[in-house]
């Protein structure tokens, strides 16, 4: 083999070794479990580091796009960050639309590939807070006043709309007899003021409530219990 051919073979081998070493590094840096978390229409992208050990020198880059669009957009506030989350509430403000987010990692001059979320639709996936509840005891009855969480979303016209009007919320109220350790649903409907009657004297009761969204068949977490003693 001539020296020229020998040197050419060395260059090819060196290049192939470099590619082989870089590709596993890119894969090991690729972010994992990239997903949206949504609460009260506050939409945040979350992820975990790749299989490679997390480093303080690792930085992350975030992009997003509307479903059906071909071009991704950079999230400038989350470009080269070290956190494992990025707030995309403003970029996903039309709650009836569907979105994607994606993240990549850079470390020591090596960039991973992108990891993309599943399709995300805020109105379907957002979790809502439970109602705030006040309970008072009058003449052996309990009066429950419910307050929906003050949540608004932006409609297609750019106006802020109350979540309560959009979802047609249903309230569910449950009462727990502390002596019998028994729970009973005493109300389900759209009214915020509920009276609970026919309670046993000299008995302690706890009341708890939740919000139900019929169109999605989903419910909120339960409120804090409010406990009273019937004289």
Nearest CA-CA partner of 227 in 209, 200, 208: 208
Q: What CA–CA distance (Å, rounded) separates 95 from 154?
A: 7
Judge whether 3-124 and 128-230 match in fold: yes
**CATH level 2 (architecture), domain 128-230:** Sandwich (2.60)
> Over the stretch 112-143, which tens digit does the pLDDT of each residue have?
999 999 999 998 999 999 999 999 999 999 99
Tell me what pLDDT residue 156 has: 65
Domain 3-124: CATH superfamily, name plus number: Immunoglobulins (2.60.40.10)
The yes-or-no verdict on residue 36 having pLDDT over 90 is yes
pTM of the model: 0.79
Structure-token match 């994607």, residue found: 100
Order of all β-strands in the sheet with 42-48? 32-39, 42-48, 85-87
Q: What is the mean pLDDT of the chain?
A: 87
Extents of the domains making up the chain:
3-124, 128-230
């Amino acid at each position: 083999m001539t020296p020229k051919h020998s040197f050419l073979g060395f260059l090819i081998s060196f290049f192939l070794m470099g590619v082989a070493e870089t590709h596993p590094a890119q894969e090991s840096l690729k972010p994992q479990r990239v997903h949206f978390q949504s609460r009260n229409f506050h939409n945040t992208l979350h992820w975990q580091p790749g299989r490679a050990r997390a480093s303080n020198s690792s930085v992350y880059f975030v992009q997003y796009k509307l479903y059906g669009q071909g071009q991704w957009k950079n999230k400038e506030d989350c470009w080269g960050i070290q956190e494992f989350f990025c707030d995309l509430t403003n970029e996903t403000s039309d709650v009836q639309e569907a979105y994607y987010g994606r993240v990549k990692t850079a470390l020591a001059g090596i960039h991973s590939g992108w990891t993309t979320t599943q399709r995300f639709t805020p109105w379907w996936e957002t979790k809502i807070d439970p109602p705030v509840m006040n309970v008072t005891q009058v003449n052996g009855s309990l009066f429950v006043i419910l307050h929906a969480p003050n949540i608004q979303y932006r409609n297609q016209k750019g106006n802020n709309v109350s979540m309560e009007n959009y979802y047609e919320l249903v309230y569910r109220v449950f009462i727990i007899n502390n002596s019998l350790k028994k729970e009973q649903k005493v109300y389900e409907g759209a009214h915020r003021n509920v009276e609970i009657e026919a309670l046993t004297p000299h008995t302690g009761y706890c009341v708890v409530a939740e919000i139900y969204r019929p169109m999605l068949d989903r419910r909120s977490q339960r409120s804090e219990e409010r406990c009273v003693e019937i004289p």
